[in-house]
Amino acid sequence: MRLSDHQKYINYLRMSGDTFHKLLNIVGPRLTKIYCVREPISPGERFALTLSGDSMMSISYAFRVGHNTVSKIIRETCDTIWECLNQNFWLKIAEDFEEKWQLPHCVGALDGKHVVIQALPRSGSIYYNYKGTHSIVLLALCDANYKFTVVDIGAQGRHSDGGIFKNSNIGKLIISNNLNLPAPSPLEQYKQPMNYYICADEAFPLSTTIMRPYAGNFLPQTKRIFNYRLCRGRRVIENTFGILASRWRIYRKPIIASETTVVKVIKATVCLHNFLMTFANTTYFTPSSADQEDNEGELIEGEWRKEQNSNLRGCKKNKHQYVWATRRRNET
């Protein structure tokens, strides 16, 4: 089919031959088996067998492979696809962070924001936050291009970012190192392997996968430069939240709806934000929408910061990025 009938090939494997081989180059090395007693089933056949999507008995007849072998191949190949494509996904994000924000090995910026709601019936102070409003928290991780990658929606506003993170699915995956991040690798100028990490602010715990700024005001130059660099990267999630709130009118005033409906609204706007950032970039997002820096390192505020009526609380200036922005030219 690959050689003579491209349409049937696509119908059978749900992708073109070029796409199949591109994916095979990624997962193939892990599917290769060592020759022992007889010739092993090739990585390409293992991959095609898994993608065919038929019943295991039908696959067994079509590929002339034992039923038990088919079951084992599918399990191994699915695990390999999950591991390889997830790692490839994180590596691409890390490349973008290094290119755009000079933050090597960073795979995302993390923060939590309060979506203001009208007090729910008989909810008491459960959703009452430190800002004096009732809210549901959107905890999110974003890439270097202002797009959400992982979200956790629905935490009650009375909890702190750190507490929400600890009890959220995102937090549990990060703390247990189950996000399937790439293995540590050395930077170009150093031989020692360095972990891939997420940048966050002081509300989140320091760990092998979370990087936060040094605390204190009177820091040595090296630490101040580190804080400046880290906070440039962390500013991406602030801008992502700000763009979301400024583009969707539902966030301009407290949302009047049930908890279930509010969560669904947040989910929908997050998905729409990502879609429009990808396919309608020039109409949905312009460079002036987000924070920028001029040639002297001075911060130029994004348009969303000027909209004072946004009800996505918590999007505020970070002291490190402003204190040290004017010293950038001399210190870097």
Q: Is the pLDDT of residue 26 over 90?
A: no
pLDDT, greater one: 146 or 20? 146
In angstroms, rounded to a whole number, what is the distance separating the alpha carbons of residues 143 and 97?
Answer: 8
The pTM of the full predicted model, rounded to 2 decimals, is: 0.76
Using a pLDDT cut of 90, give the percent of the chain over it.
19
In angstroms, rounded to a whole number, what is the distance separating the alpha carbons of residues 182 and 106?
Answer: 11
Tell me what the pLDDT averaged over the chain comes to.
Answer: 82
In angstroms, rounded to a whole number, what is the distance separating the alpha carbons of residues 258 and 108?
Answer: 31
Mean pLDDT is lowest, of 3-7, 38-42, 70-74, 258-262, for 3-7
In angstroms, rounded to a whole number, what is the distance separating the alpha carbons of residues 73 and 95?
Answer: 32
DSSP label at residue 17: H
Quick one: average pLDDT of 194-201? 92
DSSP string, 65-131: --HHHHHHHHHHHHHHHHHHHHHHHHHHHHHHHHHHH--TTEEEEEEEEEEEEPPPTT-TTTTB-TT
pLDDT digits (tens, 9 = 90+) for 246-291: 888 788 888 888 888 889 989 988 998 988 888 866 678 888 888 8
Question: CB–CB of 129/115 below 8 Å?
Answer: no
Mean pLDDT is lowest, of 205-214, 228-237, 299-308, for 299-308
**pLDDT tier at 53, thresholds 50, 70, 90:** low
In angstroms, rounded to a whole number, what is the distance separating the alpha carbons of residues 308 and 9?
Answer: 54
Q: Return the pLDDT at 138.
A: 93
**pLDDT tier at 312, thresholds 50, 70, 90:** low
Quick one: average pLDDT of 8-21? 78
Q: Return the pLDDT at 162.
A: 84
Largest CA distance in the chain: 72
Mean pLDDT is lowest, of 227-241, 260-274, 304-318, for 304-318
Among candidate residues 239, 2, 210, 209, the one with its CA nearest the CA of residue 101:
239
Q: Is the pLDDT of residue 193 over 80?
A: yes
Question: CB–CB of 84/26 below 8 Å?
Answer: yes
In angstroms, rounded to a whole number, what is the distance separating the alpha carbons of residues 149 and 231?
Answer: 19
Among candidate residues 150, 35, 34, the one with its CA nearest the CA of residue 86:
150
